[in-house]
Structure 1
């Protein structure tokens, strides 16, 4: 296990936990970029928050795999 794998694994796990606990943080970051680039005017729905939580769980799993298997 190298230092790079450790750092990447920890960062991905932290981002995943932020998405699980407070999905509005990641959604607001994503939507602000879309608003600036394309001028979109949308509001996230409950389904958006649920999807962000599922994606965040996948991030945590990937982070754990990178941290402990590589």
Structure 2
């Protein structure tokens, strides 16, 4: 997992497009961190595969929210 900061006022950064390998399907979208877990669960229910690293991050944020850690 990589953490980067982007200048979203730069037009080149406003519509990211993945460079896909053959037979690869990746959809890019943004969601607020506070709804990341719910969004992951919704997408999973729709049949999308969620990268384990993203889901683990989302679960950690959700647990912290439930226990009022953050």
Q: How does the TM-score come out when normalised to structure 1?
A: 0.31
Decide which structure has greater helix share: 1
Structure with higher RCO (Cα < 8 A, 6+ apart): 1
**TM-score between the two structures when normalised by the length of structure 2:** 0.31
